[in-house]
Amino acid sequence: MKKRILQAAASLFMAAVMTGGCGSGQIQEEYRLEESNKLVVYTSHKEEIYGPIVREFEERTGIWVEVVTGGTNDLLDRIAGENGKNSGDVMFGGGVDNLNAYAAYFEPYVSSQWEQLDSAYASEDGAYTVFSKLPIVIAYNKKLVISAGTPRSWRDLTNNHWQGNIAFADPYRSGSSYTALMTMLQILSQDMAEEETLEAFVSNLDGDILAGSGEVLQEVTAGKKLIGITLEETVLKEMDQNADIGMIYPKEGTAAVPDGSALIKNAPHRENAELFIEFTVSEDVQRLLEDRLYRRSVRRGAQSTPVREVLYDLEYSETHREEILTQWKELTGQP
Amino acid sequence: MTTIIRKSFKRELFLCFLVVALVPLVITGCFLVSVLKARLSKDYEEKTQAQLVSVEARMTGTFDAMEKVAEEILADPVIVDGITQTDSWLKNKAYKRLYEKTQDLREIAWFHVYDAQGICSLSTSPQGVAGELPAYWGLLKVARTHSQDMILRRASWEQGADAPCLQGAHAILDENEECVGFVVVDMTETHFETILSGAYDEQNGIAVLDSFWEDVYSTKAAKEASLAQTLRTRWMAGEDLRQTTDGITFYIAPITRTGLYIILGREPVFTQDVTNMTAGVIMIMAVCSLLLCVLAAGVMSDYLTTPVKRLTKAMARVEEGDLDVQIKSGRKDELGQLSASFDGMTRQIKENLELQVKQQKELNDSNIAMMQAQLNPHFLYNTLDTIKWVAKAHHVPELATLASGLARILRTSISEAPFISLSEEVSLVCAYMDIQKIRFDGNFSYDVELPLELEECRVPKMIIQPIVENAILHGLKEREDGHIFLNIYEEEAVLYVDVYDDGCGMDEEILSLLRERNREKLKGHIGFYNVDTIIRLHYGMQYGLYAENQPGGGTKVRITLPVATGNLM
C-alpha cells in the first residue's frame, strides 16, 4: 500500500515537472542544413586570405563552408591520418612542393580553366591546382639604405658588404626561407659551387638567424637589419602601411613557387569541393588576389607588373633537402 | 530495521509523523516550484517573443527607410551627375542634395555614392570618402545584377570600431539601363545601437546574422556568449541548435526581405542559483518538520505510554495479591476510561473476596451450631446398654450381643479421634462380625490372630471393617459354614493385616480395577477404595491395599501400613 502511494506521488511530481519543462520550441524545424549544401575546407591561409574568398563562395553558390585552419604540415598530416575517412573536402593552401609530397591522399583533378593558368608549376597528374604565386624578394629599410646602395642581385647577398645586415629566417623552420635559400643556390650555381655560395651567405648572416619568416620584416622595419629576404606578399602589405620599406626583385630573376589547392581523396562533398577549386582560380578571385591581397595571380595575362621568373627546381630541392640542411647546420653551428 | 522500529512505540510514532509531515511538504514544494517555473517561463517566453517582434519591426522599418532614401538619391540627377563631376561648385550642389535626402537617417547610417568602378565619390561619413570597393566582387557585383533592389551584405574589408558592419548597395542606372554607380549605405555598431536602443532587454543577447549565419552585429551580451559562432558551428556540424548544456534559449527570426536573421539569446529564468535556493528552503523546512516530528513523537508517546505503564505496574501488584491498588487517572479519554475500569475491577474483586470469606465464616458457624444441636450420643449408648440388660434379664442373648456390638461400633465410629489402637479396631471388627453372624444365622465362623505386642499399635479407624464387610457380603454369599481369618503380624516395621475368606473369590475384572485404583468403576466396592486412599494419604504410596484370589478358593486381602505406636495425632 505504502509503495503504491509513493508511486502515485512520484507520478504527480513528474507531471508537474513536465508541464513546467515544455513551452520553449523556439527553433523551428526549417533550420536544417542539407549535407549536399556543405563543404569542409582545410586551410593554412590566414583569415584575411580565406575569409573573403570563402564568404563570396558561400554567397555565390549557397554552399555552407566549414573552415578548419592550421599549419600546412599539421593539416597535411591530418589528411594522411584520416586517409579518406571523415576527412575534409579540400586542402586550400600550402606550397605545391608540400602538396605534391602528399599526392597519394589527393584525388586527381584538373581544373576546367587549366588553359588559362600558368603551367610552369602545374601538377603532372592533377594532384593539386595552383592558387597564387609567391615570388621571393629582398626588402630594405629606406631610412637606412639609399636606393642606389641596395643589393641588386642574389650575388650581392654573398658579398661581405652586407655581413651582419641580412634578416633571414631559419630554413629548417620556415618553408619560404628554404625556398629562398634553394633559389639562391640554383641561380648562383652557374658561377659558384653550392658549398661556396652557402659558405659566403652564412658568413654574411653573422650567426644571427631568425626563428620564423614573420620576424624578417619586423627586423627590417625596426632597423635592426638593413635588408631582409622574404615573400613579396609580406613586403607589399607592409609597404601599404609603411612608406619606409622598399622592395627589390633580384636582377637574375626569382622563383615564384605557387601555393595551391587539392581535392582530398574520398571527399564527402566532392562536387562542392570541385566548385570551390574552380572558384579559387576564377577570374574574380585571381583579380582580388592582386587588387587586395598582395598576391600574384596564376592566370595567364595577369595585371600585375611582370617579374623575371626562374623556374624553381622542385624535384632537386626536395631530394637534396637533407643534404643542404645538414650543410647549413654545419656552417651555422646550429644545434 | 523494521524490527528496530517495531520495538518502540516512540519510534513507530516518529516514523508515522515523519511520513505524514514530510511527504506532503516535499510534494507541495516540488509542485509549487514547477508550477512557478512553468508560469515564469511562459511569461518570459511571451515577453521575449514580443521583444523579438519589436526588434524585427524596427530593423525592417529602418531598412525600408534606407531603401526609400537610396531610391530617392539614385533618382536625383544632381547627385548622379556629382559622381563624375570635377567642378567643385557642382559637386557641392550634389553634396547638398545628398545631405538633404539623408538628414533623417544620418544618425543610423552613412550614405556614399560610388562610381561604376567601385570608387567612392560622395560620402556623408565623418571620415570622408571611403575609398573603393571591388565592383566585380561581393556587394557591388550583386547590386549590379539585382539592380532593382537594395542589397545588404556583411561588410568585409575594413576592421575596427568605426568600420561598417553592414553594407547596403543599390545600383544607379542611366537611361540605357547601364550601371553608372552605386548608392552604398554603411551601418556601424554605433548605428545599430542607436536603432535598437530600448527595443530589447539589456540582459538578453541580440545578434544580427547574415544569410550564412556570420555575425554582422552583436550586442555585448551576445558577444560574450559568442552566440553567432556557437550557432553556426552547431548548424555546420548538423547538431541540434538548442542544446541542454548551454542554458541559453535561442529565438530566431528572419528579417523580412533582407536575408538577415535576428537571434535573441535569453538566459534561463530559473537559474541554478534560484533552483538551489528553492531546494535549500525546502530542505530547511524538511529539517524543521523533522525536529517537530521528534518532539511530537516524544510528547505523544509519553502521553500514551505513561498510563499504560502505570496499568502494567498495577496489574503486577494485583498478581502479587495486593487488591488495594488504585490508579486514579484524572484523564477522560479511552486510556482514562481503561484505568477507571481497572480501578473498578480491583475494587469489585476485593469486595467479592471479602464477601466470600464472610459467607464461609457464617457457614462454619452454622455447622458448629448444627453439630451442637445433634442428639447426644451418650443417650444412644445408654439406651443400647439398657436394651442389653433387658435382653439378658429376659434371656434373649442374641439381642444382648446385638445391642452391645452396636454400641461398641457406634462409640468408635462417632468418636472424633481419627486413629485408634489396633486392639480397639479388632474388637470393633469382632463386634461387627458377631452382629452379622446373628443376621446370617451363624453361617460362618471367624478367627483373629493378633500378637500381644501389636495391640497398642495405632491405625486409622475403620480400615479393617470395610474389608471384612466385603468378605461377608460378597465372598461368603450363599455359603453355608464359611470361615473368615484375620491374621495380623509385623515384619521389618511393616504391619500386615491379612483378611482371608474361603468364599467364591473375586472376579478378575474387579481385581484389576483395584490394582489400577479406578474409583469411577469401583461402584459397589467403594469401601476398598476408601481404605486404600486413607492409608496412602496417611503413609505414602508404598502402603495400601492388595487383593488376590487364593489358589484353593477364597480371597486374600492384605492391608500394609507402618508400625506406629503412641498417639499419632
Sequence-separated (6 or more) residues with CB below 8 Å from residue B446: B430, B433, B483, B484, B485, B486
- Residue B212, C-alpha cell as written in the block: 550564412
Alpha carbon dihedral A81, A74, A36, B251, in 10-degree steps, equals 120
Please indicate whether, in this complex, the C-beta atoms of B138 and A12 are within 8 angstroms of each other. Answer: no
Q: What is the 3-state secondary structure (H, E, C) of B113-158?
A: EEECCCEEEEECCCCCCCCECCCCCHHHHHHHHCCCCCEEEECCCC
Question: Minimal Cα distance from B233: which residue of A?
Answer: A66
Sequence-separated (6 or more) residues with CB below 8 Å from residue B80: B74, B113, B172, B180, B181
Task: Tell me what percent of the residues of chain B surpass a pLDDT of 70.
Answer: 95
Window from A69-78, A155-164, B369-378, B526-535 with minimum mean pLDDT: B369-378
- Mean pLDDT for the stretch of residues B323-347: 86
Q: Which of A9, A27, A284 sits opposite B137 (nearest CB)?
A: A284
Minimum distance, in Å, between the CA of residue B80 and any CA atom of chain A: 26
- Residue A235, C-alpha cell as written in the block: 613586403
Instruction: Find chain B residues with C-beta within 8 A of A58's C-beta.
Output: 212
- Residue B97, C-alpha cell as written in the block: 542634395
Sequence-separated (6 or more) residues with CB below 8 Å from residue A234: A139, A213, A216, A217, A294
The reply to whether B53 touches chain A by the CB within 8 Å rule is no
- Is the per-residue pLDDT at B374 higher than 70? no
For chains A and B, what is the number of CB pairs under 8 angstroms? 86
More confident residue, B429 or B371: B429
What are the Cα distances from residue B509, in Å, to B471, B506, B546, B548? 17, 8, 14, 12
The one-letter amino acid at B316: A
Instruction: Find chain B residues with C-beta within 8 A of A20's C-beta.
Output: 33-35, 37-38, 41
Instruction: Find chain A residues with C-beta within 8 A of B33's C-beta.
Output: 20
In the prediction, which pLDDT does B552 show?
79
More confident residue, B552 or A92: A92
More confident residue, B382 or B376: B382
- Asked if residue A121 lies in contact with residue A256, where contact means CB atoms within 8 angstroms, the answer is no
- Is the per-residue pLDDT at A12 higher than 80? no
Instruction: Find chain A residues with C-beta within 8 A of B42's C-beta.
Output: 23
Instruction: Find chain A residues with C-beta within 8 A of B231's C-beta.
Output: none
In the prediction, which pLDDT does B566 show?
59
Question: Minimal Cα distance from A60: which residue of B?
Answer: B138
Minimum distance, in Å, between the CA of residue A43 and any CA atom of chain B: 17
**Which of B16, B27, B36, B151 is the best substitution to test chain A (most A C-beta atoms within 10 A)?**
B27
In the prediction, which pLDDT does B182 show?
92
Q: Which pLDDT band holds residue B373 (cuts at 50, 70, 90)?
A: low
What are the Cα distances from residue A127, in Å, to A89, A103, B39, B400? 14, 6, 62, 169
Nearest-CA neighbor of A154 among A249, A60, A280? Answer: A249
The CATH fold assigned to A136-255+309-332 is D-Maltodextrin-Binding Protein; domain 2 (3.40.190)
Task: Find cell 529565438 and name the residue.
Answer: B251
Query: Average model confidence (pLDDT) for chain A?
Result: 86
DSSP string covering A223-268: TSSSEEEEEHHHHHHHHHH-TTEEEE--TT-EEEEEEEEEEETT-T
- Asked if residue B121 lies in contact with residue B147, where contact means CB atoms within 8 angstroms, the answer is no
Task: Tell me what percent of the residues of chain A surpass a pLDDT of 90.
Answer: 55
Please indicate whether, in this complex, the C-beta atoms of B138 and A59 are within 8 angstroms of each other. Answer: yes
- Is the per-residue pLDDT at A67 higher than 90? yes
Question: Minimal Cα distance from A26: which residue of B?
Answer: B251
- Mean pLDDT for the stretch of residues B537-548: 85
How do residues B429-470 score in pLDDT, each as one tens digit?
999 998 888 888 777 888 999 998 888 888 888 889 888 888
- Chain B residues 26-45 with a CB less than 8 Å from chain A: 27, 30-31, 33-35, 37-38, 41-42, 45
Instruction: Find chain A residues with C-beta within 8 A of B236's C-beta.
Output: 33, 38, 64, 66
What are the Cα distances from residue B10, in Å, to B119, B170, B522? 94, 88, 64
Q: How remote is the C-alpha of A194 from its chain's centroid?
A: 28
- Is the per-residue pLDDT at B195 higher than 60? yes
The reply to whether B20 touches chain A by the CB within 8 Å rule is no
In the prediction, which pLDDT does B222 show?
81
Please indicate whether, in this complex, the C-beta atoms of A58 and B212 are within 8 angstroms of each other. Answer: yes
Query: Hey, how many other C-beta atoms are within 10 angstroms of the C-beta on B319?
Result: 8
Please indicate whether, in this complex, the C-beta atoms of B252 and A58 are within 8 angstroms of each other. Answer: no
In the prediction, which pLDDT does B414 show?
76
- Tell me the CATH number for domain A2-132+259-297: 3.40.190.10
Minimum distance, in Å, between the CA of residue B286 and any CA atom of chain A: 17
- Residue B128, C-alpha cell as written in the block: 570622408
Q: Phi and psi dihedrals of B136, rounded to 5?
A: -90, 5
Please indicate whether, in this complex, the C-beta atoms of A16 and B252 are within 8 angstroms of each other. Answer: no
Residue range(s) occupied by CATH 3.40.190.10 in chain A = 2-132+259-297, 136-255+309-332
d(C-alpha A50, C-alpha A70), whole Å? 12
Distance, first Cα to last Cα, chain B: 68
Q: Which of A16, A23, A33 sits opposite B34 (nearest CB)?
A: A16
Most confident of A12-21, B91-100, B227-236, B474-483: B91-100
What angle separates helix A175-188 from helix A321-332, to the nearest 10 degrees?
90
- DSSP helix/strand/coil, B423: helix
d(C-alpha A42, C-alpha A68), whole Å? 5
Task: Find cell 553567432 and name the residue.
Answer: B228
Q: What is the 3-state secondary structure (H, E, C) of B457-479?
A: CEEECCCCHHHHHHHHHHHCCCC
d(C-alpha B50, C-alpha B61), whole Å? 16
Q: Which pLDDT band holds residue B371 (cuts at 50, 70, 90)?
A: low
- Asked if residue A211 lies in contact with residue A170, where contact means CB atoms within 8 angstroms, the answer is yes
- Residue A177, C-alpha cell as written in the block: 626561407
In the prediction, which pLDDT does B410 show?
84
In the prediction, which pLDDT does A250 show?
93
d(C-alpha B528, C-alpha B505), whole Å? 15
Query: Hey, how many other C-beta atoms are within 10 angstroms of the C-beta on A55?
Result: 18
In the prediction, which pLDDT does A18 show?
41
- Asked if residue B125 lies in contact with residue B110, where contact means CB atoms within 8 angstroms, the answer is yes
- Asked if residue B182 lies in contact with residue B155, where contact means CB atoms within 8 angstroms, the answer is no
In the prediction, which pLDDT does A248 show?
93
In the prediction, which pLDDT does A27 show?
46
- Is the per-residue pLDDT at A20 higher than 60? no
Q: Mark out chain A residues that contact chain B at CB-CB < 8 A.
A: 9, 12-13, 16-17, 19-21, 23-24, 26-28, 31, 33, 35, 38, 51-52, 55-56, 58-59, 64, 66, 283-284, 287-288, 291-292
- Asked if residue A231 lies in contact with residue A137, where contact means CB atoms within 8 angstroms, the answer is yes
In the prediction, which pLDDT does A141 show?
93
Instruction: Find chain A residues with C-beta within 8 A of B235's C-beta.
Output: 31, 33, 64
d(C-alpha B330, C-alpha B336), whole Å? 7
Nearest-CA neighbor of B70 among B113, B118, B107? Answer: B113
Minimum distance, in Å, between the CA of residue B179 and any CA atom of chain A: 19
- Asked if residue B267 lies in contact with residue B251, where contact means CB atoms within 8 angstroms, the answer is no
- Mean pLDDT for the stretch of residues B242-259: 77
Nearest-CA neighbor of B13 among B267, B295, B240? Answer: B295
Nearest-CA neighbor of A331 among A216, A207, A210? Answer: A207
How do residues B307-327 score in pLDDT, each as one tens digit?
888 888 988 988 888 888 888
- Residue B146, C-alpha cell as written in the block: 539585382
- Asked if residue B545 lies in contact with residue B514, where contact means CB atoms within 8 angstroms, the answer is yes
Query: Average model confidence (pLDDT) for chain B?
Result: 85
In the prediction, which pLDDT does A76 show?
92
Q: Which of B31, B249, B250 sits opposite A16 (nearest CB)?
A: B31
Nearest-CA neighbor of A240 among B131, B331, B566? Answer: B131
The one-letter amino acid at B556: K
Q: Which pLDDT band holds residue A29 (cuts at 50, 70, 90)?
A: very low
d(C-alpha B541, C-alpha B535), whole Å? 9
Burial A249-258 (b: 16+ CB within 10 A, else e): bbebbbbbbb
Minimum distance, in Å, between the CA of residue B222 and any CA atom of chain A: 17
- Is the per-residue pLDDT at A222 higher than 90? yes
DSSP string covering B168-189: EEEEEE-TTS-EEEEEEEEE-H
Instruction: Find chain A residues with C-beta within 8 A of B169's C-beta.
Output: none
Q: What is the 3-state secondary structure (H, E, C) of B304-326?
A: HHHHHHHHHHHHHHHHCCCCCCC
Q: Which pLDDT band holds residue B569 (cuts at 50, 70, 90)?
A: very low
In the prediction, which pLDDT does A9 show?
47
ipTM confidence score: 0.77
Instruction: Find chain B residues with C-beta within 8 A of A61's C-beta.
Output: none
Window from A5-19, A312-326, B51-65, B465-479 with minimum mean pLDDT: A5-19
Please indicate whether, in this complex, the C-beta atoms of B142 and A19 are within 8 angstroms of each other. Answer: no
Instruction: Find chain B residues with C-beta within 8 A of A27's C-beta.
Output: 241-242, 250, 252
Helix ranges (DSSP H) in B261-271: none
